[in-house]
Amino acid sequence: MKAIVLRQLGEAENLRLEEVPDPQPGPQEVVVRLKAAALNHRDVWIRRGLYAGIKLPIILGSDGAGEVIAVGADADQSLVGRAVVINPSLDWGPDDRVFGPNYRILGLPDDGAYAELIKVPAGNVYPMPAGLSFEEAAAIPLAGLTAYRAVVTRARVQAGETVLVTGIGGGVSSFALQIAKHLGARVLVTSGSDAKIARAREIGADGGANYRAQDWGKQIVALADGKGPDVIIDSAGGETFEKAIEIVKPGGRIVTYGATTGAAKQIEVRRIFWKQINVLGSTMGTSQEFEAMLKLYGDGGLRPVIDRVFPLEEAAAAHRRMEEAEQFGKIVLRI
């Protein structure tokens, strides 16, 4: 099969199209002929060497959709021929609150979806949501699951609440916006780009602020009826997380699922207890959450936001697109 193989850390050009052996399913595994895969920032961080436990060579990619072409001896034989989307959350474990010691994400250490074929546990393939293209289905898994757990399970967003989603434009943030709106919330966003804020309004955001403005926090509070958001969904960390503690409504919730700008250097602990803020960590999610999230993009009528589609052989160009930070929505590889 053809696959994009990373043999050396560093530049995007290190992602090279190669012929590699076809995967063979184990007893409880299936092989999927992929039609599309999608990028996540995780892929870029691994390629740059900014991720723990990197092994080379590796086929990157946590998101994929396609058709099952082979199954192992102990897997459901009726899966052959079905259009499926892959849950990249492997071996979560028995505790819904936190993943177990064997947990991993597809695309490292297991070979991922930048390939014509992939083998995964049979329990990690789900029927593709009706009405979606393979490119749309492939855009959903990692970002959709991360957003669902953050918004639904951890933040417990309710209709009528005001939710701030920071850093709109990336995959998870666009899913978080859609899911919060689906729940009946009023959603505000931040971005360093006025164009991205305008695009967010087109897909349902009720307002936003450019975080390059010194008073962006005050702008958000004003947009939230002068009281601050009930919920803040944050992936930036750093100064944004510090500001979140300042502007969230007393008694509110802050869910952090990333720290793309680094560690928060000065956290006002007194604000947390005096305002009675709930600070909640979140990452990925369970199989039950994945199934519930998929229903929003099938029965629920939501559609993922796609920024651009590249052919598989242009994976390096797709990575450069992500590094430019100009995207709005998911970057997809057509296979």
Per-residue H/E/C for 72-128: CCCCCHHHCCCEEEECCEECCCCCCCCCCCCCEECCECCCCCCECEEEEEHHHEEEC
Q: What are phi and psi of 93, to 5 degrees?
A: 105, 180
Give the per-residue pLDDT at 236. Answer: 86
Asked if pLDDT for residue 65 goes beyond 80, the answer is yes
pLDDT band at 302 (very low <50, low <70, confident <90, very high): very high
The pLDDT tens digits of the residues spanning 115-162 come to 999 999 999 999 999 999 999 999 999 999 999 999 999 999 999 999
Give the per-residue pLDDT at 210. Answer: 98
Give the per-residue pLDDT at 261. Answer: 82
Give the per-residue pLDDT at 300. Answer: 77
Give the per-residue pLDDT at 312. Answer: 99
Domains of the chain and any CATH numbers: 2-143+284-334 (3.90.180.10), 155-281 (3.40.50.720)
Question: 3-class DSSP state for residue 311?
Answer: strand
The pLDDT tens digits of the residues spanning 12-35 come to 999 999 999 999 999 999 999 999
Separation of CA 196 from chain center: 18
pLDDT band at 238 (very low <50, low <70, confident <90, very high): confident
Rounded Cα distance, 45 and 67, in Å: 29
* Mean pLDDT confidence for 179-185: 98
pLDDT band at 299 (very low <50, low <70, confident <90, very high): confident
DSSP string covering 211-274, please? TTSTTHHHHHHHHTTTT--SEEEES--HHHHHHHHHHSPTT-EEEE---TT---S---HHHHHH
Residue 161 has which token pair? 């609440």
Which residues contact residue 226 at a Cβ distance below 8 angstroms, ignoring those fewer than 6 apart? none
pTM: 0.96
Give the per-residue pLDDT at 15. Answer: 99
Calculate the average pLDDT of the chain: 97
User: What is the H or E stretch that residue 278 is in?
Assistant: strand 278-281
Asked if pLDDT for residue 335 goes beyond 80, the answer is yes
The pLDDT tens digits of the residues spanning 81-123 come to 999 999 999 999 999 999 999 999 999 999 999 999 999 999 9
* Mean pLDDT confidence for 245-265: 92
Partner residues linked to 127 by β-bridges: 84
What is the dihedral angle through the alpha carbons of 237, 242, 248, 251, rounded to the nearest 10 degrees?
Answer: 100
Give the per-residue pLDDT at 148. Answer: 99
